[in-house]
Structure 1
């Protein structure tokens, strides 16, 4: 016997997950040039680059590990240079952009970045 109520509930969960993923991706990519959104390696896992939501506590060691993986993804990204220029222009408050954290980008943009690694070096 086939349980249609179960199928309906499962279908609803999948739709809700897709909506949530799209909302997260939209929040991460809002205002970005279209080629960055469509070609960036981070589009496959925006949580990796953006981190958890503001209501989730992320331990320092987990954050460091997540950011290192994000840096590695950025190092292989086909649009990392465009992403870096975008990040330097917009100075995002959070996340990993072109292999750099928002703090590193702020330092670079402010001219105090002599010790800040390049995106490829960071990975």
Structure 2
């Protein structure tokens, strides 16, 4: 039998911020591009996603999560995949 006292305890504090996210109820297709999406269509979709993020009360937590776990796809915390990679690279270069 496991020693319950040695278990890490509840971990909901790691994700509970998501319940306040402005994107809840918005379709994932707004934040994640379909295969082969390029050019104006992709830019328009990303701008729509970023507009949702701009008004989000947990935007900073979302971006922090995306950078920490290196989310490979989608708009997170108001930044696209490309923008997050650039932010991570500049943070690494500054360190």
Q: TM-score, normalised by structure 2?
A: 0.71
Q: Per-residue deviation at 1:42? A: 1.6
Select the structure with the greater relative contact order (CA < 8 A; seq sep ≥ 6). 2
The question of 1:35 aligning with 2:35 is answered: no
* Equivalent residue number for residue 63 of structure 1: 42
Point out the structure with the larger helix share. 1
- Conserved? CA contact 2:21–2:56, under 8 Å: yes
Aligned position for 2:30:
48
CA deviation vs aligned residue, 1:24-74 (integer Å, no higher than 9, x gap) = xxxxxxxx71322x111122222101223x4xx324211100000111110
Residues paired across the two proteins, number: 78
| Gap runs ≥5 in structure 2 | 1-13
